[in-house]
Structure 1
């Protein structure tokens, strides 16, 4: 069974690699063709789209993954779950498109609003269709891996073909969105061929929605101090400031992409098999890798940033050094959350602590705003404080809810 976890980890790693690392091939093209302001606009509108993705995902990558992993041998039941998830996600797509329209046409208008809206439509629609939660639950990540990698290669190729100067930032968002749309459409066709997807009953929709709601709530609070940073800087600052922060965040997200596959591969396995010995072994190995990688990243990041983004982005290295501190807390927190607590039925504890972390960030951000602090490094330190808080609380619940309980159970075992 552990071989299946390793196999799905590999496929999930490839998906994350294509989502975060492969686009780095085109960053030198984008930053040099679009310039600091053009890249800042591109990053801002992509950031708005990525911010809205949390509403379309709605926590189904956790709730639906767990449900499908438990019912994976009952195709009829899986088809019912898929139908309910798609029905909810379709309604959420309409709402998020309306919000994106509001931003592009009213709150932050742009001369390229029509093409920006098209890019947002492709991005959000593609995410609505992309059933990663299905493939994770069925532990069949090789299919979504193939579709995702192929479309990302097409994305990179199209950028090289069409992006030429500073006015192409709108076209760049369309190409970015098309990658998600194509991957989502092809993957969804595969799902309909794999299981008998049925039109859901109102009761099933209600139960599926209710099951996902706690996970969605935690994602919203996490989003408030992670994904919202670029849109926030774009609203209150200049495109150049958004570009400087976005360069660091791209490296930060790329580092996270190495971590997510392990957590996502373990989650359905632990939920179904309660395999804590494998969990502990992989947790310790991964922590060594993360700490070692963080030290290396601190020294090589300035060189990488200047090489990828250009000399105009040197200030991003200072921001990224703080992002590295956040990663030290983020990874163990991530591993303690859904692959352990939520998988074993303690989703309330795994999700609830995120609210506390967000409140810590809001308090720090509010103090900075009232004190007239506008330096983005200050707010990134707020992210570090939030991640540290979530880690400490999840570690406490893991000890009291899981490991202390197992120790007490072992003492009662007959010798």
Structure 2
């Protein structure tokens, strides 16, 4: 009815390629969150809390290495694909070079794991789990999400992602029934992802007429150099947010690690909220920034107020609902996990504080400033959380992570004020 009255052009909105891309990305993210929530109680029941913690710890290391495998191509490659949408030859060379680069990086990351496990005898409690988890590196290397983003054809890859996660969930239900099976959890996730990715590559070759050429190593080396800043920004940013579990592994046993891991998984799912907001407002914010700076600042302030209110409400809900959340996910009373979840619940609100700073850096293309803020935040996080965890255990780790968000917000504000005062005062004045 609204569409007929001309009040809201719903058809035009749905047909908009940028809106479609965002909606399908949101579907991918939502399905990942949903499968994570469903799989947690199944895994805890099947392999136990201690093995669940070790599986998550191995996954944290793999995700860290996946940043190296991705090497910033998720930021640079969609733009290159979009520019060459109608040139199949250019797309063929681009696809061949990027996939070759990522597979080489996945092989190098796998070699690092093997050297760490069998050469240096690291990761003692979860060596086999980590080795089996290495298949996830090749799943990441073959994921063509960046290609479909650039081509503005996100429907197929979003459906494929959901199907992959459902296969993984089915595998947990059918095969993961004892602690000895914990080594297969991440392997199964990597295997289902890799199979679906190979199907997507076959579709690209058959239906989109994209050929696979021999890699051009000079082009690969050039792209790696261009993406180095993106890579280090992603790496330091990830470790600042997700490195707590790795640090905690040096001070806690498997059962305590599992208790913390369960709470952290819940918080990190909720923490996707500000990231999705930044992704959602980025296209419109970029247009407003170029056309009318006053409209841009007004838009960002309006979003910021609403996000802070929403973040505060979700954080409070997580705090008061912590006993129920842990009981539903673990199907048992885990008081230590409840305590960790309640301590970490303010993280969602604190992470929302930095939304305008990050948004301004992105729309103004301040990559070097963003990288500088990322490594300073990461350095603070590693030092402070290590010290606090050593003296106060899991509680100290929680306070260290919370303080990292506050310090990160202050760092971004100071850098913006000193390096780009016009941008800073335009929003904060």
TM-score (norm 1): 0.84
Q: Which residue of 2 aligns with 1:120?
A: 133
1:45 aligns to 2:65 (yes or no) = no
1:21 aligns with 2:34: yes
Cα distance in structure 1, aligned partners of 2:125 and 2:37: 26
Across the two proteins, how many residue pairs are aligned to each other? Answer: 403
CA offset digits 1:238-272 (Å, max 9, x no partner): 11121011101211221133443443455567668
Structure 1 position 87 matched with structure 2 position 105 = no
In the TM superposition, what whole-angstrom CA distance separates every residue of 1:309-359 from its partner, at most 9, and x where no partner exists? Answer: 14353212222233332222324535643x542343211112210111112
Separation in 2, partners of 1:199, 1:402: 44
User: Is the partner of 1:373 in helix, strand or coil?
Assistant: helix
Conserved in 1, the CA contact under 8 Å of 2:316 and 2:346? no
Q: Matched residues in 1 for 2:83 and 2:418: separation?
A: 25
Q: CA RMSD in A?
A: 3.3
Q: Say whether residues 1:377 and 2:395 are aligned partners.
A: yes
1:360–1:385 contact (8 Å) kept in structure 2: no
- Are positions 1:329 and 2:350 aligned together? yes
Q: Which residue of the partner structure matches residue 299 of structure 1?
A: 320
Matched residue, 2:249: 234
Measure the CA separation in 2 of the matches of 1:287 and 1:200: 47
Report deviation, 1:91: 1.6
Note if contact 1:36-1:240 (Cα within 8 Å) is conserved in structure 2. Answer: yes
1:355 aligns with 2:375: yes
Which residue of the partner structure matches residue 411 of structure 1?
A: none
Deviates more, 1:239-248 or 1:257-266: 257-266
**Unaligned residue ranges in structure 1 (runs of 5+):** 409-415
TM-score calculated relative to the size of structure 2: 0.81
Partner of 1:208: 223
Partner of 1:149: 162
| Structure 1 segment 194-343 matched on structure 2, within 5 A | 194=208, 195=210, 198-199=213-214, 201-267=216-282, 274=290, 280=300, 285-311=306-332, 313-333=334-354, 336-337=357-358, 340-343=360-363
1:366 Cα deviation after fit: 4.8
Cα pair distance change 1:272/1:264, threshold 3 Å: same
CA positional deviation for 1:159: 0.7
* Secondary structure in 1 matching 2:405: helix
1:25-59 CA distances to partner (integer Å, 9 max, x unpaired)? 12222112212222223222223222221211222
Between stretches 244-253 and 131-140, larger displacement belongs to 131-140
**Does the 8 A contact of 1:224 with 1:358 survive in 2?**
yes
1:182 to 195, 199, 214: 195
Shift of 1:208: 1.6
1:81–1:93 CA distance, 2 compared to 1 (3 A): same
What SS does the aligned partner of 1:164 have? coil
Rate the CA distance shift 1:50–1:299 in 2: closer, same or farther, 3 A: same
Deviation at 1:384, TM superposition (A): 2.1
Deviations 1:72-128 (A, max 9, x none): 565544444333322221121111111222344431346983x753x3232111011
Residue in structure 1 matched with residue 8 of structure 2 by the alignment: none
Aligned partner of residue 107 in structure 1, secondary structure: coil
